[in-house]
């Protein structure tokens, strides 16, 4: 990247922080937080973190002012003077999904339901492999019963979100357009993520940005990094280049 301005958009779990057994235990390492803070302090950079996590949860785990945060796959964006909530995102159907998932999860040892405000998630990382077909059956049943919701599969999680035709890719493009106006010139756009949910961003930014898949597997991203540590090294380089 040789541009004099940059918009850096990052996933959280598996990109900024390692994947851990319990999503509740995920944490950003202190050196990585310091690097993000240096990069965000540059007048030539805009840094955003976009995640399937709830907006408040994401803000708490990163814990930095001066960043833009996108929760629930970008349905809700806030930080450093920004505020966006998808105008067609409604929570009425989500309440029904929450009740149905809670009833279904009670029959699945290890399953956990998480309310995120604009999404409700079924976590199944701790569900025994033999019971995971029952998880998929529950999700398919609710898809049929709740056509107003879309299901976003992730890393051992299914997120139910309002069906409004929005994903991380559309959120990333929205962030990049607004950041361009703030930075006062055309920036380079970089997006890094590790999950299937990030593929939408890779596809939408393929012709207009630098897309990076963290870890292995088939991907629409142009480049790849092996690990979270490699992401931190890249952010350090960017902080020095743009500082």
Residue 233 Rama label (left phi>0; alpha psi -120 to 50; beta)? alpha
Task: Identify whether 11 is a catalytic site residue.
Answer: yes
> What element of type H or E holds 233?
helix 228-242
Sheet containing 82-85: order of strands: 82-85, 76-79, 68-71, 45-50, 6-10, 188-193, 210-214, 223-225
Contact 171, 198 (CB under 8 A): no
Contact 76, 36 (CB under 8 A): no
Q: Is 97 exposed, middle or buried (0-12, 13-18, 19+ CB in 10 A)?
A: buried
CB within 8 A of 69, min separation 6: which ones? Answer: 48, 49, 50, 55, 58, 59, 62, 77, 78, 79
Question: What CA–CA distance (Å, rounded) separates 151 from 16?
Answer: 24
Residue in 11, 13, 194, 198 annotated catalytic: 11
List residues with catalytic annotation.
Answer: 11
């Amino acid at each position: 990247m040789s541009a004099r301005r940059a918009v850096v958009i990052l996933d959280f779990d598996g990109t900024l922080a390692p994947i851990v057994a319990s999503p509740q235990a995920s944490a950003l390492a202190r050196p990585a937080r310091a690097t993000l803070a240096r990069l965000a302090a540059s007048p030539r950079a805009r840094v955003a973190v976009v995640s399937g996590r709830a907006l408040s949860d994401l803000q708490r785990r990163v814990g930095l002012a001066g960043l833009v945060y996108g929760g629930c796959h970008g349905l809700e964006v806030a930080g450093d003077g920004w505020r966006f909530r998808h105008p067609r995102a409604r929570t009425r159907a989500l309440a029904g999904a929450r009740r149905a998932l809670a009833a279904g999860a009670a029959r699945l040892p290890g399953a956990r339901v998480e309310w995120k405000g604009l999404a409700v998630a079924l976590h199944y990382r701790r569900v025994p492999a033999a019971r995971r077909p029952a998880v998929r059956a529950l999700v398919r049943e609710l898809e049929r019963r709740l056509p107003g919701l879309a299901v976003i599969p992730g890393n051992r999680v299914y997120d139910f979100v309002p069906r409004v035709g929005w994903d991380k890719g559309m959120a990333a493009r929205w962030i990049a357009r607004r950041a361009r106006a703030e930075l006062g010139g055309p920036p380079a756009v970089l997006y890094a993520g590790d999950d299937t949910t990030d593929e939408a961003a890779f596809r939408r930014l393929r012709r207009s940005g630098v897309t990076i898949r963290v870890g292995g597997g088939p991907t629409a991203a142009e480049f790849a990094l092996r690990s979270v540590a490699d992401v931190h090294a890249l952010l350090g380089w960017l902080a020095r280049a743009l500082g």
